[in-house]
C-alpha cells in the first residue's frame, strides 16, 4: 500500500502552524540561546528560521555523535544527500511518515522560495558542503587553510542564512557580520567542544598551531589534550576570537535599527563571556543570561510564546550580558 505524500503547508493553516511549532518546541528543549534566536525576527523570518535551524541542529547532532563511526556518519550524509539535493532543485516530495526533520526541511524550502526568491539557497549549499567537510576530517589534523575554509563555509554560512531569513537591515554589512560572528563562534565552539569532538575523532587544532606552540605529541598519543592546553592553546585562541568579536562590536554600533544593533552587541557578549569570565575551557558553555526567567514567562503554546517572546526580547536585549568595559580592559590595545 502506498504512503500518502507530505506537502509543505500554506502559512496560516493549522498544518503549517503544527510544523513550525514542532521545530520551535525542539529548539526550546535544547537551551534558551538556541531557542531565543527565532524570537527576534518578524513572524515569517521567525517561522522560516525555526524550521531551518531545527533541521540543521538535529542533523548535526546525528552526524557529530561520538556513538557513530566515520563510516556511519558518511552513510547518513549519503542518505541525506538525496533529500537535500532534491529540495534545492525544488522537487522535494516526502511520504507522510518521513522523519520530522525532513518535514521541517521541506517547509523551509517552500518558505524560502515563496518569501525569499532563492536568496538563501546558495548558503544552504555551502552549509551542506561544510557538513561533508566536517565528516571527512574525522581522524585528521587539518592545515590552517583547510580549517579556515571549513569554518568559513560552516559558521559564516550559518549566520548569513540567519540574517537573510531574519531580513535584518545590516546596511550592506551582511557578509561582514556573517564572517566576524561566524568565525568567532566557530573557533569558540571548537574550544568548548574540544574534548567531546576529540572523543568523536575530531581534532580541532591545526598543523600550524601545533608547530607554533611546540606541541610534540600527536593526536593519538595519551595525554594529547592536556599537553595542548599546557602549551597555551586556549590563550592563543582566545585572543583570535576576541579580536573578531571586538571588530563585530565596532561595526554593530553603526547599525541604525535599535533592535538589530542591541541583538548584535548581545551576541558578541554571549560569545565572549566564557573568555571574559574565566570559563574558556573545554566543557563550558555560553549562555543567554536571563534565559531561565524568560523561559518561565513564556507559555508552552509555541505560537503564543513567539508573540509574547518577540515583544519581551526587546527588553531582555537592553541589558548587557557582560560589562562592555571588560572588552577594552582585557583585549583591546
Q: Which three cell numbers stand for residue 13?
A: 493553516
The reported pLDDT for the residue numbered 65 is: 83
Closest CA to 46 of 31, 24, 22: 24
The reported pLDDT for the residue numbered 305 is: 97
Q: Provide DSSP, 97-155.
A: TS-HHHHHHHHHHHHIIIIITTTTHHHHHHHHHHHHHHHHTTT----HHHHHHHHIIII
Q: Which three cell numbers stand for residue 235?
A: 590563550
Helix axes 121-136, 70-89, angle to 10 degrees: 170
| Helix H or strand E segment including 264 | helix 258-276
Q: Which CATH number fits domain 5-331: 1.10.3720.10, 3.40.50.2000, 3.80.30.20, 1.10.600.10?
A: 1.10.600.10
User: Which contacts (CB < 8 Å, 24+ apart) does range 83-90 have?
Assistant: 84/124, 84/128, 88/121, 88/124, 88/125
Domain ranges of the chain: 5-331
Query: Tens-digit pLDDT profile for the chain (333 aa)?
Result: 344 566 788 998 999 999 999 999 999 999 898 999 999 999 999 999 999 999 999 999 898 888 888 899 999 999 998 899 999 999 888 888 899 999 999 999 999 999 999 999 999 999 998 989 888 898 899 999 999 999 999 999 999 999 999 999 999 999 999 999 999 999 999 999 999 999 888 999 999 999 999 998 999 999 999 999 999 999 999 999 999 999 999 999 999 999 999 999 999 999 999 999 999 999 888 888 888 899 999 999 999 999 999 999 999 999 999 887 777 655 544
Rounded CA gap, 132 and 123, in Å?
A: 15
Query: Chain centroid to CA 298: how far?
Result: 23
Q: Which three cell numbers stand for residue 134?
A: 566536517
Amino acid at each position: 500500500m502506498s504512503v500518502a505524500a507530505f506537502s509543505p503547508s500554506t502559512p496560516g493553516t493549522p498544518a503549517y502552524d503544527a510544523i513550525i511549532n514542532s521545530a520551535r518546541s525542539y529548539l526550546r528543549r535544547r537551551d534558551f540561546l538556541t531557542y531565543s534566536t527565532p524570537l527576534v525576527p518578524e513572524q515569517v523570518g521567525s517561522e522560516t528560521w525555526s524550521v531551518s535551524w531545527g533541521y540543521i541542529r538535529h542533523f548535526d547532532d546525528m552526524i557529530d555523535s561520538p556513538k557513530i563511526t566515520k563510516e556511519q556518519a558518511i552513510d547518513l550524509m549519503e542518505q541525506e544527500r538525496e533529500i537535500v539535493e532534491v529540495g534545492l532543485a525544488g522537487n522535494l516530495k516526502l511520504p507522510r511518515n518521513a522523519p520530522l526533520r525532513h518535514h521541517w526541511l521541506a517547509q523551509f524550502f517552500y518558505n524560502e522560495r515563496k518569501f525569499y526568491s532563492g536568496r538563501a539557497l546558495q548558503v544552504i549549499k555551502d552549509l551542506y558542503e561544510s557538513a561533508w567537510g566536517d565528516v571527512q576530517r574525522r581522524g585528521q589534523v587539518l592545515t590552517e587553510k583547510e580549517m579556515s575554509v571549513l569554518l568559513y563555509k560552516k559558521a559564516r554560512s550559518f549566520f548569513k542564512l540567519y540574517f537573510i531569513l531574519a531580513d535584518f537591515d545590516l546596511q550592506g554589512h551582511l557578509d561582514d557580520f556573517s564572517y566576524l560572528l561566524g568565525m568567532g563562534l566557530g573557533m569558540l565552539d571548537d574550544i568548548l567542544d574540544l574534548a567531546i569532538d576529540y572523543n568523536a575523532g575530531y581534532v580541532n587544532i591545526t598543523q600550524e598551531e601545533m608547530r607554533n606552540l611546540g606541541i610534540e605529541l600527536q593526536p593519538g598519543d595519551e595525554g594529547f589534550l592536556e599537553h595542548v592546553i599546557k602549551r597555551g592553546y586556549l590563550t592563543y585562541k582566545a585572543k583570535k576570537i576576541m579580536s573578531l568579536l571586538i571588530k563585530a562590536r565596532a561595526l554593530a554600533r553603526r547599525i541604525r535599527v535599535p533592535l538589530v544593533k542591541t541583538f548584535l552587541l548581545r551576541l558578541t557578549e554571549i560569545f565572549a563571556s566564557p573568555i571574559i569570565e574565566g570559563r574558556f575551557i573545554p566543557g563550558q558553555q555560553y549562555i543567554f543570561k536571563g534565559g531561565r526567567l524568560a523561559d518561565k514567562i513564556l507559555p508552552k503554546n509555541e505560537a503564543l510564546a513567539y508573540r509574547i517572546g518577540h515583544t519581551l526580547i526587546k527588553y531582555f536585549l537592553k541589558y548587557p550580558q557582560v560589562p562592555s568595559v571588560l572588552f577594552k580592559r582585557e583585549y583591546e590595545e
